[in-house]
Chains A and B, each alone.
Chain A
Amino acid sequence: MRADHRYPGYATLVVERRGPVGWLVFDRPDRGNAMDATMLAELERAWVDLDGDPAVRAIVTTGNGSAFQTGLDVVQLGRDPDALREQSRRTRRAELKLTAWHNGVWKPVIAAVNGTCAGGGLHFVADADIVIAASDATFLDPHVSVGQVTVFEAIALVRKSPMEPIVRMALAGRHERITARRAHQLGILSQVVDPPGDLRDAAQALAATVARNSPAAVAATKRALWGALEAGLTDACRAGARALVDMWGHPDQIEGPRAFTEKREPNWA
């Protein structure tokens, strides 16, 4: 499927829209799509572009080449530490701006893991709403093998999936990988696409399906569910109840049941 719109001005990402689906594609294939200073800056801008475009109802992140994302570009870190100084400051303050969650994007986000997802690449799995993967995708966290601490990615992942495999991945470092099949069994992701070449079509189809739902209800749901990871069960339910009631009276809330009864596609506000 051809892009309907390509957002201009990106050197390390491809950012485009296909139908109702925004695509954010990591595009440094000869560097395993590692994040250098340019990509870090462009990511923040890409989320703003995609979030600000009303034609985008759902967003897919994926990578060009054999890797999905392999984290911070350690080559640049070694050669030119100054280039990543701003990033170090943000890391210290837990103010990263890499993912949709970091950037307060309330459109649904699907991570389509096309190959190796390593270290900081796990941010984009941890912070996605839905995760699918090519059958040959693999997951590993080499931080401790290169003398670095694993923190944010694993903290989010242990809230979302069984803990033991995440801790094992963090402690085994680069010496072990989780396969797409195993990640599916564990509920880290919900769909394995085989052959791997079909991944983008599967992601586009899934995102287009999500895009059929009420954008207002989807955004309110996303806020309620991610907010729930911040609080105890009862407090989360109390906040969630408010999110529920806030939607009452919204046009979509009346249009939805009506369209269902009349057996037609709804016209969302």
Chain B
Amino acid sequence: MTFAYSTYETLVVERRGPVGWLVNNRPDQLNAMNSRMRDELAVAWTELDADPDVRVIVHTGEGRAFQTGVDVAEIAGDGVGMERYRRSMEDFDLHFTAWHQGVTKPVITAVNGICAGGGFHWVADADIVIAAADAQFFDPHVSIGQVVSLEAIGLMRKMPVEAVMRMAFVGRHERMPAQRAYELGMVSEVVDPPERLRDAAQALAETIARNSPAAMAATKRALWRALEMGLTDACRAGAGDLVSLWGHPDQAEGPRAFAEKREPRWQVGPAEA
């Protein structure tokens, strides 16, 4: 039985083999997030995480931008302004990234072009990030009188801080090329020519999909939780994740398949162990 996805206006949500695709689809607005897109993202992450045929999720954008943050035209145009975000922001009750939604499957962000300002949310909150060779990164918030906060806070845990702060304080007056993002470890692969990005993302996702879903979910939980605490506490909590898989069928199947030189047959769906 095939999982039925909702109908989306601002996103394309689909499955190709074991890979779920979430594509920002407002190319004429450089994939800026309006209220509709914000709400659709919440649903899309949940659906892709729930589809048992999806093992890995790729997030990319249509057109020449990956994502450029909040839709300023909507903010400026309808009299509601940023106030539409006040309640959820004050409560830090956000739902537009995989991390916000507690997605348990590995998420690959494939940056296809401009990634600006709020676009960094999906770089910071992804497990793996790759980029087209012509991708560009910059954070114009302070150049238009806005504060840089959540995106940079996430990035700072994951890469050298100086580079994040330089982007935050220089604002729109400077861009970081994909190659520098690769050197700094913000992305792990630069795809050249850029048109090959989606193929490269699909291939990487299929490779990851060969691993035990249960082991990856526990690993993801342990690593992200580690960003919440000091080293010893993180190791203590991680020990729980390690032990949680003992007795799981994948834990016996993995070594057996390795010994028999065959592809393992992982358990899909909730663990019965």
Give the B-binding residues of A (Cβ under 8 A).
58, 108, 128-131, 159-162, 185-190, 206, 209-210, 212-214, 216-218, 220-222, 224-225, 228-229, 232-238, 240-248, 250-257, 259-261, 266, 268
Given B92, B149, B185, B229, which contacts A221 in the complex, CB threshold below 8 Å?
Answer: B149
**Taking A187-B162, A190-B162 as contacts, is the C-beta distance between A236 and B153 under 8 angstroms?**
yes
Given B149, B162, B168, which contacts A244 in the complex, CB threshold below 8 Å?
Answer: B149
Give the A-binding residues of B (Cβ under 8 A).
72, 75-76, 82-83, 86, 89-90, 92, 141-150, 152-154, 156-157, 159-166, 168-171, 173-174, 183-185, 224, 227-229
User: Are A161 and B165 in contact, with the CB atoms below 8 A?
Assistant: no
Given B161, B184, B185, which contacts A160 in the complex, CB threshold below 8 Å?
Answer: B161
User: Are B165 and A130 in contact, with the CB atoms below 8 A?
Assistant: yes
User: Are B150 and A225 in contact, with the CB atoms below 8 A?
Assistant: no
**Taking A108-B169, A130-B165, A185-B183 as contacts, is the C-beta distance between A266 and B160 under 8 angstroms?**
no
Given A213, A220, A246, which contacts B171 in the complex, CB threshold below 8 Å?
Answer: A213
Interface of B is mostly: helix
Residue ID in chain A nearest B173 by CB atoms: A209
**Taking A210-B170, A221-B149, A221-B168 as contacts, is the C-beta distance between A160 and B162 under 8 angstroms?**
yes
Residue ID in chain B nearest A159 by CB atoms: B161
Residue ID in chain A nearest B184 by CB atoms: A187
| A220 shortest CB reach to chain B, Å | 4
In the bound complex, CA of A213 to CA of B72 (Å): 18
User: Are A218 and B161 in contact, with the CB atoms below 8 A?
Assistant: no
Given B76, B89, B92, B171, which contacts A257 in the complex, CB threshold below 8 Å?
Answer: B76
User: Are A247 and B147 in contact, with the CB atoms below 8 A?
Assistant: yes
| A115 shortest CB reach to chain B, Å | 19
In the bound complex, CA of A185 to CA of B141 (Å): 26
Given B147, B170, B227, which contacts A224 in the complex, CB threshold below 8 Å?
Answer: B147
Give every chain A residue within 8 A of B156 (Cβ-Cβ).
Answer: 225, 228-229
User: Are B145 and A254 in contact, with the CB atoms below 8 A?
Assistant: yes
In the bound complex, CA of A238 to CA of B76 (Å): 26
**Taking A187-B163, A261-B76 as contacts, is the C-beta distance between A238 and B92 under 8 angstroms?**
yes
In this complex, the member of A233, A248, A253, A256 whose beta carbon has the largest number of chain B beta carbons within 10 angstroms is A233
Given A160, A242, A251, which contacts B160 in the complex, CB threshold below 8 Å?
Answer: A160
User: Are A241 and B89 in contact, with the CB atoms below 8 A?
Assistant: yes
In the bound complex, CA of A210 to CA of B165 (Å): 11
User: Are B169 and A130 in contact, with the CB atoms below 8 A?
Assistant: yes
| B143 shortest CB reach to chain A, Å | 5
User: Are B153 and A237 in contact, with the CB atoms below 8 A?
Assistant: yes
